[in-house]
Amino acid sequence: MAILELKDVKKTYKTRKVTTEALKGVNFSVDSGEFISIMGESGAGKTTLLNIIATLDRATSGSVILNGQDTSLLKDSEISDFRRRELGFVFQDFNLLDQFNNRDNIFLPLVLSNEKEAVMKDRLSKLKSALGIGELLEKYPYEVSGGQKQRIAVARGVITNPALLLADEPTGALDSQSSESLLKMFCKINEAGQTIIMVTHSLRASSYAKRVLFIKDGIVYHEIYRGENERQE
Ligand code: ADP
Ligand code: ADP
């Protein structure tokens, strides 16, 4: 089943002097359970594409259907609820709040959607061992390493059981060892059923995804599927 479908998505940025066609007609669909990487150089249109999928920005034309909903038809008043319900986010710079300990950072999206405390605790107890974050929960973000912060951020991203997890350069601020361990964690949550789209300019990071879409000048110009036996230890 397609979780996400993009049809002829275009995005034009207009300023007084310059018009930039950041996306020139992007078409692809993502099935439930896929782990996709979108890869391209700086300026290719990755962030624009991700922001449109994330409902943080609207396409100039074309349609984006996420979990059965044409997102261009959502009213502004409906968008943040929809985003909270359907999407989880992981950012390059973690976006954790230093005022709250790691546990409360993870709970934040559930608190914002008025989830019951018992449900929150149950979800966290399932994630805790899978993500290796048990020891980090009472600490504050500034007390843990970058790699550990990103594990907390991934837990926050998936705790709402989103239809789709969106990751924007998740390894961008990590050393190679932490990157590898984060990407293995992505593979693990993907194997448990989480659909993931990761944007990166790193071929090494992309190689963990099952399918890689290459974008350049606002066009997806190539895609590759990873062989079944690679990256399995
Ligand atoms: P990437 O994430 O692959 O680096 P972007 O999506 O950020 O690419 O940018 C694609 C193109 O759109 C670039 O030419 C960029 O300069 C332009 N662009 C991105 N955001 C804006 C904006 N808010 N206003 C004007 N131009 C933009
Ligand atoms: P970049 O791709 O330049 O590294 P970020 O990963 O920080 O940028 O953010 C990507 C997009 O997501 C930006 O448009 C930003 O406005 C938005 N964003 C960043 N943090 C949050 C957040 N906590 N909640 C919602 N949107 C966010």
Among 12, 18, 47, 53, which is best to mutate for testing ligand 1, by the most ligand atoms less than 8 A from CB? 47
Q: CB of 93 closer than 6 A to ligand 2?
A: yes
> What one-letter code names the amino acid at 54?
A
Q: What is the crossing angle of helices 146-158 and 102-112, to 10°?
A: 20
Q: CB of 88 closer than 6 A to ligand 1?
A: no
CA of 21 to the centre of ligand 1 (A): 9
3-state secondary structure of 20: strand
pLDDT in tens, 130-163: 898 999 999 999 999 999 999 999 999 999 999 9
Reference 8, options 25, 28, 29; nearest CA is: 25
pLDDT reading at 231 higher than 80: no
Average pLDDT over residues 193-197: 97
Average pLDDT over residues 44-70: 96
**Nearest ligand to residue 169 Cα:** 2
What is the pTM (predicted TM-score) of this model? 0.88
**Nearest ligand to residue 87 Cα:** 2
Looking from the CA of residue 218, the nearest atom of ligand 1 is 10
Say yes or no: ipTM exceeds 0.90: no
Average pLDDT, the chain: 94
Q: CB of 91 closer than 6 A to ligand 2?
A: yes
Query: What was the pLDDT predicted at 230?
Result: 58
**Nearest ligand to residue 39 Cα:** 1
